[in-house]
Structure 1
Amino acid sequence: MTLGADLPLTIVICSNRPDSLPAAVTRTAAAMGPRDRLLVIADMPARHLPTLPTGASSPPSRIRVICNEGNQGLAHSRNKAMKEATTQHVVFLDDDIVPTAEALTRIREALTAGAHVTGTRITAHLQGRRRPWFLTSGQLHYLGSHAPAQPASIWGGSFAIDVEHARLLGVGFDERLGRIGGSLISAEDTTFVREMTARGATATILHDAEVQHLIPAHRLTLSYLLRRAFWQGRSEARRNDARRGIAKEWHRNRSGNGARPVRAALALPYTASVLLGVCREAVTRSRTSAADAETRSDR
């Protein structure tokens, strides 16, 4: 028997996109083990919730849906999932991930072997579209996908945690981070992993276990990618890691495939967008602090 083959998992899909949920449930149910449960955290009012598919692989008894009754954000949804999960181990999958039974088996093995947090490689699936010239492997992280020639890292699109150990360490998802509304704020996942490992948790990266990330056409535009880079800068500043974040993004944007002059040229606008995001976050924080100080002085 495979190590951890009978380990039950709560597989969580956090989504604020009604149109994406039915297909996400279908894909995930097809990969689930017999003892797994599917928990959907719908970051939307119940009236916006679509009809979700059920069948032999995903009977209603194995699916639970919780609505936030408004857009509370991805980090809020992840924290709620940790509280509501009925198993010790939780797997988070984005609503545009294509999981496989093999990837979930590898996750079970890692958790059974003692990992407190583990994640798979995430590969961009462009759905038959050609990769545009302004998107090298150095910008794939803006699409939540790993560069094929680079080592993977643990990202929120496909990762698992030992909820009990996270609770023991007092680690949760920072609700200042993570997608909310129309923003592209991120880093709630990597910040969580960073805090877990800083407090002694064991992390295992499954470099050769892969899931696919479905990339829609509108994300393969320069305007989207620059906007995503801008919000990356805001995210780095919000978690007080701006200096290192800018250097990291400069290196990433220069390290893609393709001719060196093209990579260097692309690194400039992308990293400039990151820097602009850092500055915008600093201005916003300064204004908020000034407003708070004025409010206190009026009391």
Structure 2
Amino acid sequence: MTERQFSVVICVYTEDRWEDILAAVSSVRTQSLPALETLLVVDHNERLLERLRAEFTAPAEKVRVLANAGPRGLSAGRNTGIAAARGEFVAFLDDDAVAERDWLRHFAAGYDDPRVMAVGGRTMPAWASGRRPAWFPEEFDWVVGCTYRGLPPGRVVVRNVLGGNASFRTSAFDAAGGFATGIGRDGDKRPLGCEETELCIRLSRALPDAVLLIDDRAVIHHRVPAARERFGYFRTRAYAEGLSKALVARSVGTGKGLESERRYTTRVLPAGVVRGVRDAVLGRPGGAGRAGAIVTGVAVAAGGYLLGTVRARRGAASFQVAPIERVPDEENTGKRSTGEDEAA
């Protein structure tokens, strides 16, 4: 049987992460299932674009450096990578993360079932301080882009994968279109998210028999800088998540848009508060802080959701979805169309 071929897309935007970018690429090079190619998509940063093109010149490296062909932001960058990808599958890796050696192999195993359209993995935090802050609840690890307490273990069916550690059949984008622009991170605004949630719900609607999985053996380690270990960032990110969830719910309806969140809010988080209070009573460090952080996180996320809902109803917040337009290999210069201009 021919091994499955993956194009790995890493979206980058700043030279401040130069060493992280090199480490991410290196982790792809050492996969037990070799990637067909690594696509570095640079988000409107000419200096970084030229520096990376000078760094990766040898064809044997199987690294292509592309310019984001759409508007600034992570979604358009990913769409640029999808449009240029030559593999049957596209995997996404954050630019400040490294993948374990069998990352792609575990992704590949999930596609034995032809109904499977996406496979995600487990993202572990690598704290800049060397360990988790005592007050930081595992239930909120999504704040720093990592797998959080409450997700089921093993290989399980899910509503959506998490974008920084995920793979899709390339044909999934033909059916559902690419990542929506106007949602998710764009480098200048609040740290929004949920673009992968919206895409996965849209994919399940386009292909009702589609199966989406998370396999927690497909592990990456995501660097958490010191600035994101602070409570101020925790509040800001939770608030931005509420804004993002309102956009998703406006697009796909509250039924699907908040399906997973209801269980998380009514079961996972209350259990986390109880654990924190119990630890505080037993004199264990950080227990009261974790309980308080969960309550605060819920409150600010709810506030963001309410404001985002009002804005969405007024038409002040919107996003666009466009089909992915494949490009021939000889045109892979990074100046191709991914459809956003036509949709804007």
Fold agreement, TM-score > 0.5:
yes
| Alpha-carbon contact 1:119-1:204 (below 8 Å) kept | yes
Q: Which moved more, 1:40-49 or 1:67-76?
A: 67-76
Letter in 1 for 2:222: H
| Deviations 1:142-162 (CA, angstroms, capped at 9, x unpaired) | 111113674256211111101
Task: Say if 2:239 is the partner of 1:230.
Answer: yes
> What does residue range 23-42 of structure 1 map to in structure 2 within 5 Å?
23-31=23-31, 33-34=33-34, 36-42=36-42
- The 2-side partners of 1:39 and 1:193 are apart by 22
SS at match of 1:130: coil
| Alpha-carbon contact 1:249-1:274 (below 8 Å) kept | no
Give the C-alpha shift of residue 89 in structure 1. Answer: 0.8
Query: Which of 235, 256, 259 pairs up with 2:272?
Result: 256
- Structure 1 pair 243/100, CA: closer, same or farther in 2 (3 Å)? closer
SS at match of 2:216: strand
Give the C-alpha shift of residue 246 in structure 1. Answer: 6.8
Larger RCO (CA under 8 A, 6+ residues apart): 2
| Alpha-carbon contact 1:145-1:213 (below 8 Å) kept | yes
- The 2-side partners of 1:30 and 1:192 are apart by 29
Letter in 1 for 2:139: G
Give the C-alpha shift of residue 136 in structure 1. Answer: 1.1
| Deviations 1:178-207 (CA, angstroms, capped at 9, x unpaired) | 111232110011221222233321222212
- Structure 1 pair 87/274, CA: closer, same or farther in 2 (3 Å)? same
> What does residue range 1-299 of structure 1 map to in structure 2 within 5 Å?
6-20=3-17, 21-31=21-31, 33-34=33-34, 36-49=36-49, 51-52=51-52, 53-54=55-56, 59=59, 62-68=62-68, 72-114=72-114, 115-147=116-148, 150-151=151-152, 154-167=161-174, 169-182=175-188, 183-198=190-205, 199=207, 200-240=209-249, 241=254, 247=262, 250-251=265-266, 252-256=268-272, 258-260=275-277, 262=288, 263-285=290-312, 288=315
| Alpha-carbon contact 2:241-2:301 (below 8 Å) kept | yes
Give the C-alpha shift of residue 50 in structure 1. Answer: 6.1
| Alpha-carbon contact 2:75-2:184 (below 8 Å) kept | yes
Gaps of 5+ in 1: 291-299
User: What is the RMSD computed on CA atoms of the aligned residues?
Assistant: 2.9
| Alpha-carbon contact 1:123-1:213 (below 8 Å) kept | yes
SS at match of 1:122: strand
| Alpha-carbon contact 2:106-2:218 (below 8 Å) kept | yes
- The 2-side partners of 1:234 and 1:16 are apart by 23
Q: Which moved more, 1:83-92 or 1:34-43?
A: 34-43
- Output the TM-score relative to the length of structure 2: 0.72
- Structure 1 pair 289/99, CA: closer, same or farther in 2 (3 Å)? closer
Percent same amino acid at aligned positions? 24
Gaps of 5+ in 2: 279-287, 318-344
SS at match of 2:102: helix
